[in-house]
Structure 1
Amino acid sequence: MDFSLSPEIEDYRRRIRAFVETHVLPVEADPTAYDEHENIREDRLAALRQKARAEGLWALQMPKALGGQGLPVTGMAACYEEMGRSIFGAVAFNCAPPDDGNMILLEKVARPDQKERWLKPIIEGRLRSSFVMTEPAPGSGSDPGGMMLTRAEKKGDRWIVRGRKWFITGAEGAQHFILIARTSDDPRRGLTAFLHHAKDPGWRILRRIPIMGPEEHGGHCEIEYDGLEIPDENRLMEVGEGLKATQIRLNTARLTHCMRWLGLSKRALEIAGAYVAERQAFGAALKDHESVQMMLGAAAMEIEIGRLLTMKAAWQLDRTGKARKEVSMAKVAVADLLHKSVDTAIQLCGAKGYSKDTILEWIYRYARQARLVDGASEVHRMVLSQELAKEGRDFWRWG
């Protein structure tokens, strides 16, 4: 097994590392660069994005023919990890959720005319997008196929949508939406994916839901659909393939979360390592205390395990396009280690880590959502149990 990167990917990785160090971290360190939701201000982001495009580091996940860099998933894994060193890293390179997953889905399944209208503006950074699936109880959460209540009814050449969605990431700032709605009661082919624009009448944002952590641009919103009309030409894929569209999107999007979280995990240990090297206690630097070494060593090992799981899943996606159990394993492990890494870093930094003098408290609050987004950890463990029951000893097969 060869874990080395190709010269091309290594060049991207090194340039992204340098870009984050030179351009992104200074903005992150500037208190005036933050908006009211603890994200980067739009004007400061625009300047970073312009620099990233000028240096050929824009939209790594998209084909070169569409304005991206055409990296394979394994290349994305190495580069997204470098972006993730900063809380503003991924969005500076147009590799942040939910646009990241939406672009990947549209590039895979949209018609050429749909790509021109709905995908190209996202790649170019002219607008943002949102993926609209989750609903308040008793509607769909982890079981969209069985529980989705939002319906789209066909009338002539148009679909009429009614229902309610919530925790829709980025909705307040998005112009393009990918909507999943029920079109029949078939348990496997009852959902369909649609495309609509923010200016289309018949829908509204009810509220931007307050959350404990810092927010993505556009927040996490509750939305009501009350007669939104979508032309059939704006249907994405075939009728009844909404669940398939969701699975295609999440398969890679879950893994790109892991890639970015690994960068944040490493950053947390970096901050802690610098602190314990300087801080003295009981006649020695903290780094020389065995208990501190054990904490750092354990966290570092967990990060490396997460990197290996993530890279294996990326390799599998590049080979076959499918990596359900590999992605689930990475998602559970990396979500856990992100919390462990930043918790360890805060503990080692003491009161300074708990304060806003470092970025650790920001990462800590953000980290709690990792075990919930794109499928709760319990659901992924259930998926792994089902795969084990189906495959038996072949669950651990090579290749």
Structure 2
Amino acid sequence: MDFTISPRVEDFRARIARFVADDILPVEAQPEAWDAHGNIAHDWMVPLREKARDEGLWCLQLKSETGGQGLGRVGMAVCYEEMNRSIFGPVIFNAAAPDDGNMMVLEQAGTPEQKERWLDPIVRGDARSSFVMTEPHPGGGSDPGMMITTAKKKGDSYVIRGRKWFITGAADADHFILLARTSDDPRRGLTAFLHHRDEPGWRIDRRIPIMGPEEHGGHCELVYEDMELPADRIIMGEGMGLKITQMRLGTARLTHCMRWLGLAKRCTEIAQEYAANRHGFGVRLSDRESIQIKMGDLAMGIEIGRLLVMKAAWALDQGRFAKKEVSMAKIHVANLLHKAADVAIQINGARGYSQDTVLEWIYRYARQARLVDGADEVHQMVLNRHLGEEGRDFWTWDVENI
């Protein structure tokens, strides 16, 4: 097994690391650079994004012909982890959710005309986007088959009616990918549509208050009241909405994990620095066996997460769906992030609980990791289903073709 990365990927990783250290972390340290929702303020974000673009560190996940660098999933795993050393990092490199996943699915599934109108502005940084899927009870959540928002055909158009909630980024989004039901077919009943924020027939009912900090645009509840969209707004064709969802969420779940590993490493960094300099009862914290055990366990957990993420990224690059690998990574890394923040806060004591560090931000953010893009229990059921179908073959190795 080859665990090396290419010199090109290492070059991107090193340049991103320098950019984060020299340009983003100093901004993160300035209270005036934060907006009211715990993210980087727009006026501070724009010049950093321009500089990242000028340095060729922009949209690494996309193909070169789309405006990216074509790093593939393995290269993304390396670089996304490095980006999220700062909580402001991903959005600066145009690698933050939900734009990240939306760009990748539009690149893969959009027509040339759809790419020009709906994808290119996001790639340029001129527009933000949102993926509109989750619904209140009794509608679809982790199970999109429960979706009750409808798109009924009317001549050459579709009339959409329904309610969605916890739609990330909606308040700031210009472009939306909307999932709605077009038939009762269990596999071909959902369809994906594109719409613009300025089109009539929909509204943001509220920006839902949450426990943690927010992505730009928050998490919103949306109402569709007879919005009419032409047929050319459909992605891939009527009835292909479930396919679009699978294409998008598989990679999106893994990119979350890539970024969360960067945050987990940041937690250990803050904990190590404090433990090395804080003394109590005549002993430095880092010399205490209890602290060493905590830090060693955390370091091991991060490395396990990196290996799970890298295996899943490799499988995706091979053209596989990697459902097992992505689910394992999602469960482990989501729980790891929460643990890393908790351990780092404990080591820092009152300082960790304060806003003198980003630990309390990461701790509040981390709790949602076990819910977004499928709760832990959903992914555990996915793994159990594979185990039931595959038996001992669940753990087979791939054999090299000679």
TM tier, smaller:
over 0.9
What do residues 39-78 of structure 1 show as CA deviations (whole Å, max 9, x unaligned)? 1000100011011001000000011111111111000000
Q: What corresponds to 1:202 in structure 2?
A: 201
**Residues 177-212 of structure 1: CA distance to partner in whole angstroms, max 9, x if unpaired?**
000000011112110000000011000000000000
What corresponds to 2:268 in structure 1?
269
Tell me the CA shift for residue 321 of structure 1: 3.5
Alignment partner, residue 329 of structure 2: 330
Q: Deviations over 1:329-372 (max 9, x none)?
A: 00000000000011000000000000000000000000000000
Q: Which residue of structure 2 lines up, in the alignment, with residue 383 of structure 1?
A: 382
Q: What is the identity, as a one-letter code, of the residue corresponding to 2:197?
A: A
User: How many equivalent pairs are there?
Assistant: 398
Matched residue, 1:76: 76
Instruction: For 1:397 and 1:106, locate their aligned partners in 2 and report how far apart those are by CA, in whole Å.
Output: 34
| Cα RMSD, aligned residues only | 0.6
Q: Equivalences for 1:128-207 in 2 at 5 Å?
A: 128-145=128-145, 147-207=146-206
Q: CA deviation at 1:238?
A: 1.6
The answer to whether 1:253 aligns with 2:252 is yes
1:281: how far off?
A: 1.3
The one-letter code sitting in structure 1 at the alignment partner of 2:224 is: Y
Structure 2 counterpart of 1:225, one-letter code: Y
Tell me, what secondary structure is at the counterpart of 2:165? Answer: strand
User: Residues 243-392 of structure 1 correspond to what in structure 2 (within 5 A)?
Assistant: 243-392=242-391
Show CA shifts across 1:70-112 (max 9, x none).
Answer: 1110000000000010000000000000000000111111111
Q: Is 2:121 the partner of 1:121?
A: yes
Opposite residue 272 of structure 2, the aligned amino acid is: G
Provide the C-alpha distance between the structure 2 equivalents of 1:104 and 1:387, rounded to a whole number of angstroms: 27
Structure 2 unaligned residues grouped into runs of 5+: none
Report % sequence identity.
Answer: 67
Distance across 2 between alignment mates of 1:38 and 1:294 = 32
Residues 1-21 of structure 1 deviation map (CA, whole Å, 9 limit, x = unaligned):
111110000000000000000
Residue in structure 1 matched with residue 229 of structure 2 by the alignment: 230
Secondary structure of the residue aligned to 1:123 is helix
Q: Tell me what 1:21 maps to.
A: 21
TM-score, normalised to structure 1's length? 0.99
Give secondary structure in 2 for the equivalent of 1:97: coil
Gaps in structure 1 of 5+ consecutive residues: none
- Of 331-340 and 281-290, more deviation after overlay is shown by 281-290
Question: Structure 2: which amino acid aligns with 1:177?
Answer: F
Separation of aligned partners in 2, 1:66 and 1:252: 18
Residue type of the partner of 1:157? D
User: Structure 1 runs of 4+ off > 3 angstroms?
Assistant: none
Q: 1:202 corresponds to which letter in structure 2? A: G
2: CA distance between counterparts of 1:104 and 1:367? 24
1:35 match: 35
Partner amino acid for 1:140? Answer: G
| Residues 127 and 174, structure 2, Cα contact 8 Å, conserved in 1 | yes
Name the CA distance, whole Å, in 1 between partners of 2:189 and 2:65: 34
Query: What is the CA–CA distance in structure 2 between the aligned matches of 1:321 and 1:108, rounded to whole Å?
Result: 15
* Cα distance in 2, alignment partners of residues 66 and 140 from structure 1: 32
SS class of match (2:211): coil
Q: TM-score, normalised by structure 2?
A: 0.98
Distance 2:291 2:280 in 1: 12
- Residues 66 and 107, structure 2, Cα contact 8 Å, conserved in 1: no
**In the alignment, which residue of structure 2 is the partner of 1:65?**
65
